[in-house]
Each structure stands twice: as C-alpha cells, then as structure tokens.
Structure 1
Amino acid sequence: VSSVITESIFNDLLKHRNDAGCKAKGFYSYDAFIAAANAFPGFGTTGDLTSQKRELAAFFGQTSHETTGGWPTAPDGPYAWGYCFKEEQGNPPGEYCQASSQWPCASGKRYYGRGPVQISWNYNYGPAGKTVGFDGINNPDIVANDATVSFKTAVWFWMTEQSPKPSCHNVMAGGWGPSGSDTAAGRAAGYGVVTNIINGGLECGKGSDSRQEDRIGFYKRYCDILGVSYGSNLDCNSQKPFGFAAQSQPRLIKTVV
C-alpha cells in the first residue's frame, strides 16, 4: 500500500486534517494508516494498479465523508477537508446500544461513531475488537484514542462482508459481480454500491442526494491525485438498499452526516 499511498500523497489527500479547526488535529498519522493497512492482506493490493488505486481512493473517499470538516467555500475546496473529526458530532452522541446476547453493552459505555469510518453500535464494536485486538465492548473509547486501532476498525469494516452485503473491498477490487436480484435492484459494480453498503438505507434509491455527492466529490479528487480514472456507476441514485425488507440490524455506520 505504501507504494501507492506515500506519505506525501497521504498528506495531500488529507490536506487540512491537522488544521487548528479540526478536532482530530494531530491524530490521524501516516504510520498508523500503513500499520492498519498491512494488518489486512489484500487491502489496496488486489488486482492491477488501476484497481488498487481505485480501492484506496474509494476507502479515503468514504471515510473522508464520514469525518469531513469541509464546507462549500472551504480553502482548497470542500474535498480537501477529510479526517477532521475522530468522534461523531452531536450533543450528546447516542448510545447506539442494541440488545444482543453475543455483544451485550457494557454499563456506562457508548458505541457512537468513532474513527475514520465512524464505527457505531455494539454489534460492530464487538466483532471489530475481536478481529483487531481490543475489547470493543468494554473499551470503545480506544478507537478515538489510538490512531492505529482507529484505522484498523475502518479497514476491518471495509474488508468484512456482512450478508446480504458484499464487502466494500470486494466491490472495488473486482471480486463482486451483481446477482440477478442485485441487477433487478439497480445495483451494479462501482463506487455507488460502496455507498449503498455503508448508508444505503438513507442515501440510495432516492435520486440525487447531497451526502452521496459529497462522497463522490472526495472520491474524484482522490482518483485525480492518484492518477486513475473513476470507473462507472459512481452513484446509487436508482439503487435499492441492500436487504431493504429487513432493516432490523442494518450495516449502518452513521445516520447523521
């Protein structure tokens, strides 16, 4: 991954992350990203160079939207302000606790959005911690205190399939093709399906959506920096969300963006 995302490119992608106005100033480091990337074989290294660059642009595009501090007239444009936050904004953030026998919530702990992908809910913190190597149920705060762990939760989410959704990685690395039901639902391989995986219940199948456009704007800027074409099917305007009839446990990171 470091051959595609050098430290200078990382700093260009996330140009304003350490600005004084960004609450995550000084948190998201290049070394932490590389350590997390190297912990997940295949991340950003699958397929040809075009696929690798698009996957990394997509990863940073989606996570930058989740952590953006940008605004329409921001210096260098709104898409130069990813990774401004490490914790969900809101007063106060919700608990995000769903009754679970496997991942029961710990007393006094809150599972609101933290880190690049704003991982939320006890049923995501639990398995993320199990894979990454921390106690996600009893120590969710580590995701906002340890940059390597923080990046690892984002890459974990990116690499992990949660049926009926494919993993974001498989979509961008070319390992996923639409089934008959996917095609009937308007879902085709491309960046738009990644948005559908992450927040389709709120953003997809409704025509143009400003949150979607923000995700696409980041992706295009990052593709331009990496010198790669965008590919097709960037939006999910006409895609039905995955598992539309069963949304009791959506693979939903964050509902307020």
Structure 2
Amino acid sequence: MAAFIFAILTFSSLLPFGTLAEQCGRQADGKLRPNEQLCRDSGRGGGLASLISREDFEILLKRRTDHRCAGSFYTYEAFVEAADSFPAFVRTGDNDTRKRELAAFLGQTSQATTDGKYAWGYCFVEQQVTDGTAYCTYSTKWPCVPGKKYFGRGPIQISYNYNYGPAGEAIDVGLLNDPDLVATDPVISFKTALWFWMTERYNKPSCHEVITGQWKPMAADVAANRLPGYGVITNIITGGAECGHGPDERVKDRIGYYQRYCDILGVGLGDNLDCYNQGSFGTLVDVMK
C-alpha cells in the first residue's frame, strides 16, 4: 500500500516522511517560521512539524477536501499550532515511537470523522447522526448551559458536558458556554482532541501513555485482557460500545486506518491491536459530577 502511494507522488513529495516541513516553529508575530529548533532537532524529540510536512499531511489525509466532506476545516497549520500546546505529543521516545503515536492519533481520529475506508479520515467536523438531545449529563462541576448541545465535534468527536468542560478549562476556552467553537475554530478543534489524547481520567491511562510505552497494566487490567497496544487506546475512547464483545467492524476499521498511517510513515504497528476481548475501563460520568 505504501509503495503504491509513494509511486503517485510528485518529485517534491518523494522526500521521506519525517523530512523537515517548509515551515515550523513560531515567530513573534505568531506566524510559522522555517528552521526552528524543534524542527531541526527531530532526533531528540522535535515537534509535529519535524515529523510531517504540509505535503505529508495532504498525503496522509488525502481525501479530506473531497466535495462530500468538510475536511478542509482541518489544516496542517492548525494541527501544528495545537500540537505546540502539548509538548509531549509526538516528542516522547525514539523516532519510531513518535511516528507510531502520530499514526495512532490519526487512526483513531480518522475513524471518528470518516466517510469511508482508510483514506477518508477527517471528512466531517460535526457528529453526523444526532437524536436531538443535548448530550448533557447532570454535573455540579461541569453544568450544562441552557440551549447548548454537547454532541460530537472535532477530530476526536468530543462529546458531553463532562468532556467539554475540562477540555475548555485545560485550553483556556469557555467550551461549556460555546461548544460550537470546536467546529468553527480549527486550532481549538485540534486542541480538544489532543487534550483527550494526552489526559488521564479516572482509572484510565492517557492514550499518549499507552502508545509511547509508559503505561504498565495493573493486575485488574491484565485480568481484563487490557495489555499495552493500540487496542487499549480504542478501549479508552469507546469502552464497551466497541470493545469486549468479540469482533467489531468499527474496531477493525480503526486498525485499518492505523495500519495505513503506519505503512506510510514506515513504522511497525506493535502488538495487541484490537480490543475484541478486553473488558472496558468503566465510566467516568459519576467521577465528573
């Protein structure tokens, strides 16, 4: 698959993935600039722009601008800017670990925003099927604002007030009052997905800790077949909705996206890719009240 993709690229795109982007880092006026240290220092954990260029981004998410999609909302510049606010994202471990984290993040978020198989990630910005409810759970800490709806938005389709509230607090944006910002400001949108990715919650590790090899399963995790690997990340995100009841096409698709991105980035997938036989971590709702 990777060989086919590279064969159709123009000469300017034939540079290996991980080649420095044309622009990275930030100037005093907020604009991206070339040759910033994080870009040059990829061997010691440089940022997102040291892993993929704008051209690479277009290859990875090559159909997001299709006429059926709203994916042009998701830009390379917004992704880089948002990632700068999470210093450990794709800066932890060796170069293969960093690439694997990027592939895992794109794999999960692509499935959340897809309109098809494997090349169709980042097609949608907002949840495509809603039942008209506000996606509000009673919480004294993160109370819903009357008239606001907290359905899925952004790369990871963040949903419910108990996620919008702490995400907004973490990135210093009032998302409980204005959840639509996740669907109208691409930097905020990426930041909410990265907040979810980087944040531990209740008895769950962060997705970042799992994919970078920092998470060590407890006895209860081993008993529930939750072992380090991409499958645990699916479990963190979807829980019992997709995990723990045998083969599930949605889980299979998440793996398919991940494999595509790993192939393109030239990195192995690792072990324990599915969550078919994993027990879920349980719910966060009661903890957030």
What TM-score does the superposition give when structure 2 sets the normalisation length?
0.81
- The letter of the residue matching 1:145 is T
Which aligned pairs between 1:72-83 and structure 2 lie closer than 5 A? 78-83=117-122
Q: Distance in 2 between matches of 1:61 and 1:98?
A: 28
The answer on whether the counterparts of 2:243 and 2:275 sit within 8 Å (CA) in structure 1 is: yes
Q: Does 1:6 align with 2:53?
A: yes
Counterpart in 1 of 2:229? 190
CA contact (8 A) 1:2 1:34 kept: yes
Contact 1:15 1:80 in 2 (8 A): yes
How many pairs were matched up? 240
Which residue type is aligned with residue 52 of structure 1?
R
CA 1:67–1:250 in structure 2 vs 1: closer, same or farther (change >3 Å)? farther
Percent of residue pairs bearing the same amino acid type: 57
Report the Cα distance in structure 2 between the residues aligned to 1:92 and 1:10, rounded to whole angstroms: 33
2:62 maps to 1:15:
yes
- Secondary structure of 1:59's counterpart equals helix
Residues 181-201 of structure 1, C-alpha deviations (whole Å, 9 max, x = no match): 111110100000000000021
Question: Which amino acid in 1 is paired with 2:61?
Answer: L
Deviations 1:147-186 (A, max 9, x none): 0000000000000000200000000011101111111110
CA-to-aligned-CA distance 1:20-51 (integer Å, 9 cap, x gap)? 011x2420000000001111010011001111
- CA 1:138 to 1:185, structure 2 compared with 1: closer, same or farther past 3 Å? same
Residue 168 of structure 1 is matched in structure 2 by 207
Quote the residue 1:32 is aligned against.
Answer: 78
Q: 2:263 aligns with which of 204, 208, 224?
A: 224
CA distance in 2, matches of 1:235, 1:26: 30
What is the aligned partner in structure 2 of residue 255 from structure 1? none
Instruction: Tell me, yes or no, if the aligned pair for 1:105 and 1:137 is still in contact at 8 Å.
Output: yes
TM-score (norm 1): 0.91
In structure 2, the partner of 1:117 is 156
Aligned to 2:285: 249
Kindly indicate whether residue 170 of structure 2 is the aligned counterpart of residue 131 of structure 1. yes
Q: Following TM superposition, by how much is the alpha carbon of 1:92 offset from its aligned partner in structure 2, in angstroms?
A: 4.6
- The residue correspondences of 1:135-154 to structure 2 (distance < 5 A) are 135-154=174-193
| Equivalent position of 2:20 in the other structure | none
Partner of 1:53: 99
2:139 and 2:145 map into 1 onto residues whose CA distance is 11
Task: Tell me the amino acid that sits aligned with residue 69 of structure 1.
Answer: D
Query: Is the contact between residue 201 and residue 284 of structure 2 (CA under 8 Å) also seen in structure 1?
Result: no
- Counterparts of 2:286 and 2:158, CA distance in 1: 13
SS in 1 for 2:118: helix
> Would the aligned equivalents of 1:93 and 1:112 in 2 still touch at CA under 8 Å?
no
In structure 2, the residue matched to 1:213 is 252
Larger radius of gyration: 2
Give the structure 2 partner of residue 62 of structure 1: 108
Runs of 5+ consecutive residues of structure 2 not aligned to the other structure:
1-47
CA contact (8 A) 1:95 1:111 kept: yes
Asked whether 1:201 is paired with 2:240, we answer: yes
| Cα displacement (A) at 1:248 | 6.4
User: Distance in 2 between the 1:222 and 1:19 partners?
Assistant: 19
Q: Deviations over 1:44-69 (max 9, x none)?
A: 11001111111110000000000001
CA apart distance, 1:249 = 1.6
Partner of 2:225, secondary structure, is coil
Question: How much has 1:4 moved relative to structure 2?
Answer: 1.0
RMSD over equivalenced CA pairs, Å: 1.3
Distance 2:284 2:95 in 1: 38
Structure 1 segments of 4+ aligned residues over 4 angstroms from their partners:
none
Name the amino acid aligned to 1:4.
Answer: L
Partner of 2:189, secondary structure, is helix
Return the match for 2:272 from 207, 222, 233: 233
TM-aligned CA deviation for residue 93 of structure 1: 4.5
Amino acid of the structure 2 residue aligned with 1:139: D
Q: Which residue of 2 aligns with 1:99?
A: 138
Which runs of no fewer than 5 residues in structure 1 stay unpaired? 71-77, 252-257
